[in-house]
Chains A and B, each alone.
Chain A
Amino acid sequence: MTIAKAIASLRPDAEFTIVDNDIKTIVWHTEGVTTPTKKQIDDEIKRLEAEEAAAIQARIDAKASAIAKLEALGLNLAEAQAILG
């Protein structure tokens, strides 16, 4: 997770450019936008990382659930995985 992605998440309606993920280089293309504080950015990075990890786990869980349901219908594991890719 990068500082740039965290800022984009904190200011979704604002346009900006940042170089080498360095907050000092940020240029706002939208007027009247304030740069988030370091704490706000750090907190957002943690939140996005947790969200990303949860999303990955949710996909793993959903796939496992789907395989289990297909197996219950009589498909073996190889056949179920062939369907899911």
Chain B
Amino acid sequence: MASTTNFGWTTPDNTGYVKDGALAIRTLGSAIDTSMAELKGGTTGQVLKKSSGTDMDFEWGTVSSTPRIGQVVGVYTTTNTFTTSTSYVDATDITATITPTLSTSKVLVTISFNLSVDGNFNSYPVGYAQILRVSTAIREGYMAIYTGISTTVGLTTDQFTLTYLDSPATTSATTYKLQIKKANGTSAQTNSSATVILQEVLV
């Protein structure tokens, strides 16, 4: 009796007489049935996984829920925004948009920028910055300068990174942006350069 190349299923020889043909067919069918047994079953949404390195050793299971990074959006800008406003204003061009693949996805928002504040003696300049998702504030930070005994402060700059793991719960295009304002002092401004990085975390 011959056998198939890959699975070794028993088949009649090419030149064999037709004898006990039904048995030969049943033997072949049974061998195929046995080989394919582990492909049977499973439920909606499950995937077939290898159980071991052995041929045809499978099992049905769920997709790993280990969080992983999906798409990444990055924006770099050298646009500087200067404001004397005590209410938040957009920091021009410090913005990026991402369209989450899944509604369960999280978005890791990282905005790095230079924030400058300006003011005179005893004005204690303070500048604020916040991240917005569309029109909702999700993260705020500030810098304050103690003037000490200086007669003048002048422009003082520091590098900031605001980070937030957001859950936008949408698959629509979602825009994140930076806003700034001054408290004390004469002004607040973004300075030199800024980067916005949005990373989709698939969960």
Smallest beta-carbon distance A57→chain B, Å: 12
**Given the interface contacts A4-B187, A5-B187, A59-B151, does A15 sit within 8 Å of B82 by beta carbon?**
no
CB of A14 closer than 8 Å to a CB of B: yes
| Contact between chains at B92 and A29 (CB < 8 Å) | no
Task: Digitize A13-41: 1 where CB-to-B-CB distance is under 8 Å, 0 elsewhere.
Answer: 01111111100010101000000000000
**A4, A8, A19, A21: the one within 8 Å of B92 (CB):** A19
Point out residues on B near A: beta carbons under 8 Å: 79-87, 89, 92, 118, 151-152, 154, 186-187, 189
Interface: A66 (CB within 8 A): no
Out of A4, A5, A29, A52, name the residue touching B89 (CB < 8 Å).
A29
Decide if A76 is an interface residue (CB 8 Å cutoff). no
Nearest-CB residue, chain B, relative to A2? B82
Shortest C-beta distance, A33 to chain B (Å), equals 11
| Secondary structure call for the A interface | mixed
Q: Which residues in A have their C-beta under 8 angstroms from that of B84?
A: 8, 14-17
The contact of B83 among A16, A21, A52, by CB within 8 Å, is: A16
Query: Given A17-B81, A19-B92, A20-B79, are A4 and B189 also a contact pair (CB < 8 Å)?
Result: yes
Residues of chain A lying within 8 A (CB to CB) of residue B186: 5, 8, 12
> A5-B118, A15-B86 given as contacts; is B187 within 8 A of A21 (CB)?
no
What would 5 A/B residue contacts be, using CB atoms closer than 8 Å?
A2-B82, A17-B84, A19-B80, A27-B89, A59-B151
Query: Smallest Cβ distance from B23 to chain A, in angstroms?
Result: 87
Determine if A60 is an interface residue (Cβ-Cβ < 8 Å): no
Q: 10 tightest CB-CB pairs across the interface, nearest first?
A: A4-B82, A17-B83, A15-B85, A19-B92, A17-B89, A29-B85, A15-B84, A18-B82, A8-B84, A19-B81
